[in-house]
Structure 1
């Protein structure tokens, strides 16, 4: 799902909607950075279900008898999600290149993209882990996590924010994903980063990561009775 669904969406936007949005065929260059974050989000969403399943399946009771840190449970899910989603991101970029995406990034730009994508995956995975801990069952964790999947659609992922109605444009401009997407877009296309987008991107990531780590740690100690 983490690979197939974002790929289908990229093909849909490129071949079905792309001609109407940008008739010169260059829309794929615009849309790939947004698809990258969409891919990371879908891949990390399974963490909420996995964590909720661990909390209800009895495995945590077994972990209590073992000489291990409680944080290792969440850390294991996060590391697995990071590795899995980096591979999925590479596949999605490869598909994008196959359908016409032509990045102009330098070596430093690619390193910056990889670093920012990895940071975003950590952020979203810790957030989904906290949702999984807060949910009463794997099914409810899946439902709560699905709400976060709509954020990329209300950002600059698929269309410029200045094409949106005024009230929606304000939301798109000030939500966390827009500066992250714009930073990735500027690095990949070699157009440079506009204004303070990179600082906003890093700031949002740091803030949400800190909240996710603290929230997930508190919930795990509360539910599992571990320090």
Structure 2
């Protein structure tokens, strides 16, 4: 039991030390024993409520809050996918190759066959994620992304920032409406996002045209976030 407590405690501390904006759930691997604990607690609750599914869901869901689902994960674009997208627009090839080095893995990031970053970790997935994060930081320092906006790579985090703001302010979640900008000129999408603030004011912003729906949503979220900032909504309690 003491070893289990140490493992869970070590994992909890590692999660707390990670940055708040770590993409796609972070790079810390949870110990297997944590899943066993959750499974045991779930089984005990289910038995205690005499297999009443609705009552069980009400209790267990509260224990799991905040629950991370597909919608929340979408707010955090995967760094490797984002890098592939960024370099593809420049006509370059990006990939990350992990290699076993003794008891650890070393992941090297390549752009057109040249190593641009590397990172080591105890498991393959974490090594790749950390190498990708280094690449994103380097990319931001070298050149701006999406020049129509202020701040490098800021648009990639716009949906997450807007989502987190609405949760913090206890506003309803942003609503996105995406449509083809001009069906006669290929697939270009434009998105409008609506946010209702605590004073019951309805705010609507339209983003720039993009070739993908998700990019169009991020553009709209960026416009909305900065419109709210300019209106001092970010500073209000």
TM-score, with length taken from structure 2? 0.25
TM-score, with length taken from structure 1? 0.26
**Bigger RCO (CA 8 Å, 6+ sep):** 1
Larger relative helix fraction = 1
Larger radius of gyration: 2
Larger relative strand fraction = 2
